[in-house]
Every structure is written in structure tokens, then in C-alpha cells.
Structure 1
Amino acid sequence: MPLSIFGFQAMWSPYLIGVILFLTVLYFLVTVKWRTDFKESEPLKKREAINFVISMILLYIVMGSPVDLMAHIMFTMHMVQMALLLLLIPIVLIQGIPNWLWKYVIELPYIKPVFHFMTRPIFALGFFVALFSFYHLPMVLDYIKLDETLHGMYTFILFLAALFMYWPLINTVEGQPRMKDLHKMGYIIGNAILITPACALIMFASAPFYATYTDGELWMKAMELCVPSSTLAGLSLSGPELFTNMDPMYDQQLGGVIMKIIQEIIFAVVLGKVFIKWYRNEEQNADEITQKALLERQQLNANQYR
């Protein structure tokens, strides 16, 4: 059965198009036209503008195109949606906003202490993994998907948690704490390890977990998150099997596998960039690093013989 039966609004989310356009126009007004109203502002770089526009396009594709509709029909597409929303878009968005604008926002009186606490590496990592894992507990996901407000709030909080998680890795804002390259590599590997149990639970399940993807009545209720209730009332649907031939068990397992694969690819790219930067730094500053290590060793020996 074609997805077009759900109508244009469900397929292409015109309201989200409006939000995306508003954010994009606001971005260029702030970073170009109103830039001189901010202290220490700099001209917008082409790379920053491209990254921001890409992040907005990806956000629309993930949350506003038929991908979002399919994410309510197939668990596999739900996991694709989560992987891109939480693991890719935050990177592009952070790099798309100029450092001077980040600095202005995160140093506002009410934001600074909260942002500083939420972006502490250990806390940020644990907070994101905990929220992601909790969200994919069967009873939790089914409950959240039946309430539009709760679903929207939890998704937004998850996205913020992803931003906090990535901040220690990729921010270049002056005055913000930065992790050493070796610590970054450990941080990335730790993230990949900690998120594995949630994916493994989904991949190696012996039966379908999520009633909102298998129970026709609950599925119809969950579809109200993206399809107007008036449209659903005029349709005679029994369940997601009308739109896919994939068995619910395979759909669930494939979703877990795809989530893990996308995560590993994104983390591998980030890890590779961090490793290359670390290696080049070691090569260029080998003598300085050696002298520093020798000096620290001499000071340690001197303290021992006092």
C-alpha cells in the first residue's frame, strides 16, 4: 500500500519546513546582518555556512520527509532516524555555528553553569547513553510513542544530550575545556562500548519487543504522531504489515544492526580524524614532548630523594 494515502502533511511535514526555513534565515541574519551588534564577532566562514545548511537539510530529511513516516511503520527506519539525528547531525550543527556565537550563548548567566556541568566528558557520555538505552526499553518506547507531547520532549532532550556528548570532542571555542587527543580516542571507544548493550538487546532478542510496531491498535495510535487523526479516521488499516513484507522479528533485529553499523562508521571517521591530528602533533613536536617528559622525570626523581 503506498504511503501517499496518509496525505501531503504526513509525507512532507510543511510545518517543519517552516521551522527549518525560519532557523536558517535567523542564522544568516545573526551571523551576517546583525553580526556587528555582537562583541568579538567574526565574518561568517563559508565552511560554517555550508555545515549549518547541511545540518538543516539533514534535520528535515530525518524528521520531516517520508523517512519520519516510515520510522513509525518500520523499526529499522526508526533506528536509521535515531542514528542520523543523534550521531551525525549534532557534529555538523556544532561545526556550523561560529565560535563567537557559541561563546556568546554559552556564557549567558543562566546558561553558563548548566552548560559547563552538562558538557563534562564523563557526565555527558553517561547521560547520553543512559537516555538512549532507557528510551529503547520496550515499555518505555511504547509508552512515549503514544503521547505526542512526551515524544517530542524526549526526542528534543535526547538531541540536546547528543550535543553535550559531542561537545568535548569537537568544540574549538576559546576558553572552553578541551580534551587531549588521547583522551578523545578513549572517549570515542568508550561511547561505542557503552551503547552496545542497548543495540545487542535489540539484535539478539528472541521475539519482537515493541507493541507499537506489532499491535494494530497501538500502532494506529502511535501513527498520530505524524499523521493527522482526521486522516487516520478515514482509513481502514490493520497494521504496519500493509506497508512492508518484513517480519517484525527481522525488522527489529535489522534495526539494531543498522544502528550499530552507522554508529561504528561515524565514530570511526571521528576517531580517525582525532588519531591523525594526534599523530601529526607527535611528529611535529617530538623533541618538545621528549624534553618535557625528561623534565617531569627529573622532577619526580628529585622529589623522591628529598
Structure 2
Amino acid sequence: MPLNIFGFQALWSPYLIGIILFLTVVYFLVTTVWRKDFKVSEPLKKSEATYFILAMILLYIIKGSPIDLMSHIMFTYHMVQMAFLLLLVPMLLIKGIPWWVWKVVVEAPVVRSIFKIFTQPVVSAFVFAIMFSLYHMPGVFDVIKLDETLHGIFAFVLFLSAFFMNWPLIGNVPGQKQMKPLYKIAYVIANAVLITPACALIIFNPNPMYSTYTDGETWLKAMELCVPSSTLSGLSLSGPELFNNMNPLEDQQLGGVLMKIIQEIIFGIVIATIFRKWWIQEKRDDKAITENALREFQAKKQSQQF
């Protein structure tokens, strides 16, 4: 059955387009026109603008395109959506917003204490793992998917925990404590390990876990999160099997596997980037030490000649 029966709004989320365009305009106003209002600022870098635009494009693709609609029909799409939304979008946002803007945000009176606590590596890693695992517990997941307000709140808190988890790796606000490269690598590995039990439960469970993907009535109610109820009331649908060739268990297992694969790819790239920067810095430091030692030796030798 074609997806266009759900209508243009469900397929392309025009409201989200408006929000993203608004955020993009505000971003460029703050980082260019209003930059002079900041005590400390720098010209916007092309790389920063690129990262931010990529974050907005990716956000729309995973939350505004038909992928979002499919995430309510197939668990596989949901997990792919979660992987990019929680592991990649926060990184792009952190790198896309200039440090002098972040400095104002993280040093605000109320935000300062929250940041200090939740960006501690141990805290951020465990909070994200707990929130991710809690979100995907069958009882919790089904309840959240049936209540628009509860779903919005929980999804926002989960995204915020992902943001805090990524901050120790990417954040570069002057004055804030930075992890050493080897500690960052260990931190990435720890994060990968901490969410593995939740993914393993999804992959190896012998039975389908979520009624919002298996029970027709519950699924139809959950679809109201992305499809107007007026549209759904005019449709005669029995369940997600109308749009999915896989059985629920295969769909669930594939979703868990793809989540882990995407996570490993993203984390692998992060580790490779950290290691490369560390290696370049070490080579630069070694060269500087060698040059300094050579200059000292030559100066000492000249002084002995006189």
C-alpha cells in the first residue's frame, strides 16, 4: 500500500521545514550580524556553517521526510532514526555553533550548574545509556508512543542526554576541562559498551517486544504522532503489515543490528579522528623538542668555543 494515503503533511512535515528555516536564519544572524553584541567573538568559519547546515539537513531527513513516517510503521526505520539523531546530529550541532556562542550558553547562571554535572564523562555516559535503555523497554516504549506530550518530553530528554554524552568529545569552549586523546578513545568505547545490553535485548529476544508495531489498534493509535487524526479516521487499516514485508520479529532484530552497525561506524570514525589529531600533535611536539634540544646544544657548543 502506498504511503501517500497518509497525506502531504505526514510525509514531508511542512511545519518542521518552517522551524528549521527559522533556526537557520537565527543562526546566521547571531553568528554574523549580531556578532558585535558578544563580548568575545570571531568571524564565522566556513566549516562551522557547513556543520550546522548539515545538522539541519540531517534533522529534516530523519524527522521530517518519509523516514519519520516509516519509523512509526517499521521498527528498523525507528532504530536508524535513533542512531543518526542521537549519535550524529549532536556532534554536528556542537561543531557547527561557534565556541563563543557556546561560551555564553554554558556559562549562563542556570545552565552552568547543569553543564558542570551532566557533561562529566562518567555521568554523561551512564545517563545516556540509562535513558536509551529505558526508552526502549517494551512497557515504557509503548506508553510513550501513545501519548504525544509524553513522547515529546521523553524524546527531548533523550536527545539532551545524547548531547551531553557527545560534549566531552567535541566541546571546545576555552576554560572548560578537556579530556586527553587516549581518555576520549576510552570514553567512546565505554559508550559503545554501555548501550550494547539494550541492543542485545532487542536483537536476541525470541518474541516481538512492542505492541505499537504488532497490534493493529495500538499501532493505529501510535500513528497519530505523525499523521493527523482526521486523515487516519478516513482510512481503513488493519496494521503495519500492510506496508512491511518482514514479520515483526525480523523487523525488530534488523533494527537492533542496524543500530549497532551505525553506532560502530560513527564511533569508529570518531576514534580514528581523535587518534589522527593526537598523532599529528605528538609528531609536532617531538619535532619542537628536537629543534629546541638542537638549538641548546649548538648554543652550548658556541659558548664553549669562546
* Alignment TM class, shorter chain as reference: over 0.9
Please name the residue that 1:3 is paired with: 3
Please name the residue that 1:30 is paired with: 30
Amino acid at match of 2:163: L
Structure 2, unpaired ranges of 5+: 291-306
Alpha-carbon distance between aligned partners in 1 of 2:147 and 2:126, rounded to the nearest angstrom:
26
Amino acid at match of 2:85: L
Amino acid at match of 1:102: W
Please name the residue that 1:280 is paired with: 280
Match runs of 1:1-306 below 5 Å: 1-286=1-286
Give the Å deviation of 1:287: 8.4
Q: Describe the shift of the 1:289–1:210 C-alpha distance in structure 2 as closer, same or farther (beyond 3 A).
A: farther
Amino acid at match of 2:94: I
Alpha-carbon distance between aligned partners in 2 of 1:231 and 1:52, rounded to the nearest angstrom:
34
Amino acid at match of 1:41: S
Which has the greater radius of gyration?
2
Alpha-carbon distance between aligned partners in 2 of 1:27 and 1:280, rounded to the nearest angstrom:
32
Alpha-carbon distance between aligned partners in 2 of 1:57 and 1:247, rounded to the nearest angstrom:
32
Alpha-carbon distance between aligned partners in 1 of 2:155 and 2:41, rounded to the nearest angstrom:
32
Give the Å deviation of 1:249: 0.6
Amino acid at match of 1:113: S
Q: Deviations over 1:219-252 (max 9, x none)?
A: 0000000000000000000000001111111000
Alpha-carbon distance between aligned partners in 1 of 2:28 and 2:278, rounded to the nearest angstrom:
34
Alpha-carbon distance between aligned partners in 2 of 1:138 and 1:110, rounded to the nearest angstrom:
35
Alpha-carbon distance between aligned partners in 2 of 1:143 and 1:215, rounded to the nearest angstrom:
14
Amino acid at match of 2:178: R
Give the Å deviation of 1:113: 1.1
Q: Deviations over 1:133-187 (max 9, x none)?
A: 1101111100100000111111111111111001111111111111011110100
Alpha-carbon distance between aligned partners in 2 of 1:138 and 1:185, rounded to the nearest angstrom:
32
Amino acid at match of 1:190: A
* SS of the residue 1:254 aligns to: helix
Give the Å deviation of 1:281: 2.7
Please name the residue that 2:295 is paired with: none
Amino acid at match of 1:5: I
Please name the residue that 1:295 is paired with: none
Please name the residue that 1:294 is paired with: none
Alpha-carbon distance between aligned partners in 2 of 1:180 and 1:14, rounded to the nearest angstrom:
43
Structure 1, unpaired ranges of 5+: 291-306
Amino acid at match of 1:139: G
TM-score relative to the length of structure 1: 0.93
Amino acid at match of 2:190: G
Alpha-carbon distance between aligned partners in 2 of 1:192 and 1:275, rounded to the nearest angstrom:
17
RMSD of equivalent CA atoms: 1.3
Amino acid at match of 2:273: K
Alpha-carbon distance between aligned partners in 2 of 1:237 and 1:158, rounded to the nearest angstrom:
31
Report the number of matched residues. 290
Give the Å deviation of 1:284: 3.1
Give the Å deviation of 1:276: 1.5
Once the two structures are overlaid, the 10-residue window that deviates more, 224-233 or 275-284, is 275-284
* SS of the residue 2:113 aligns to: helix
Amino acid at match of 1:271: I
Alpha-carbon distance between aligned partners in 2 of 1:228 and 1:82, rounded to the nearest angstrom:
23
Please name the residue that 1:298 is paired with: none
Alpha-carbon distance between aligned partners in 1 of 2:78 and 2:239, rounded to the nearest angstrom:
16
Give the Å deviation of 1:279: 2.3
Q: Deviations over 1:171-208 (max 9, x none)?
A: 11111111011110100011111111110101111010
Give the Å deviation of 1:288: 8.6
Alpha-carbon distance between aligned partners in 1 of 2:283 and 2:10, rounded to the nearest angstrom:
54
Alpha-carbon distance between aligned partners in 2 of 1:38 and 1:216, rounded to the nearest angstrom:
54
Give the Å deviation of 1:286: 4.2
* SS of the residue 2:110 aligns to: coil
